[in-house]
């Protein structure tokens, strides 16, 4: 399973890329609004950092405007993936962009039926929002499971990108279900490293090594 960062913060992206485990980035207008700088220039810089898929979201309700924005984004870098909302006009745009070999990420997916339509239109990625579904009293991961099963059964090439990740268990569940990608905030990536037994083990090793060094110093003074 690939790991994407869900952020537009360049410092977080650089730190994540330095770890060697980040495969791409997803952005949206809300994330971009938190950062200073020109949207397109930031996208180009993100692409240069990660050298992997970078989702850039259109802001439009009509197909033609989505196509215009999407084509402009696609010119920025070979790594750009045009992010499009899962509405009828969006699906029309996905069909057209896919015919032009422009990669797409269909966002705001909340049901397997929606995901089936996106795949039929040729979406490169589908983004089920598992956290928001959980917030509404639904099982977000069930949509991931349904999409994985449907796409495998019919050999649909669309990749399942688990989005709206809220905690490390979402990441684990997405991996077990066979999601192709999980995109997460930088703080969730950091949490994947954490386990109290790891911390205790490091403390014990450091204490024991300190004892070894003290013995060496004592022997050297004799």
Residues classed as catalytic = 83
| Whole-Å CA distances, 200 to 189, 195, 204 | 21, 9, 6
The answer to whether residues 28 and 22 touch, using CB atoms and an 8 Å cutoff, is no
Tokens for 100, please give them: 């032009």
Radius of gyration over alpha carbons of the chain, in Å?
A: 21
Is-contact 127 133, C-beta < 8 A? Answer: no
Helix (H) or strand (E) holding 159: strand 159-162
Beta bridge partners of 56: 82
Q: With beta carbons less than 8 A apart as the criterion, state whether 189 and 22 touch.
A: yes
Instruction: Dig out the tokens for 214 from the structure.
Output: 């003290």
Spacing of C-alpha 54 from chain mean position? 9
Nearest-angstrom CA–CA distance, 14 and 33: 19
The two structure tokens encoding residue 36: 């200073």
**103: Cα separation from own chain's centroid:** 15
């Amino acid at each position: 399973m690939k790991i994407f960062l869900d952020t537009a913060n360049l410092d977080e992206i650089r730190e994540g890329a330095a770890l060697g485990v980040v495969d791409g980035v997803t952005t949206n207008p809300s994330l971009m609004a938190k950062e200073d700088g020109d949207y397109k220039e930031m996208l180009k810089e993100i692409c240069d950092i990660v050298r992997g898929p970078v989702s850039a979201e259109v802001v439009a309700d009509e197909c033609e405007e989505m196509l215009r924005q999407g084509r402009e984004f696609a010119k920025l870098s070979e790594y750009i993936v045009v992010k499009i909302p899962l509405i009828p006009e969006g699906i029309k745009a996905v069909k057209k962009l896919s015919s032009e070999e422009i990669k797409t990420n269909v966002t705001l997916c909340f049901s397997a039926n929606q995901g089936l339509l996106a795949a039929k239109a040729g979406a490169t990625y589908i983004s089920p929002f598992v956290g928001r579904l959980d917030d509404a009293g639904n099982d977000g991961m069930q949509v991931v499971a349904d999409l994985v099963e449907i796409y495998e059964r019919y050999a649909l090439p669309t990749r399942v990108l688990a989005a709206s990740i809220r905690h490390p268990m979402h990441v684990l569940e997405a991996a077990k279900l066979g999601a192709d990608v999980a995109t997460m905030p930088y703080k969730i990536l950091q949490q994947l490293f954490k386990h109290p037994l790891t911390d205790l083990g490091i403390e014990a090793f450091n204490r024991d090594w300190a004892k070894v060094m003290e013995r060496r110093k004592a022997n050297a003074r004799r």
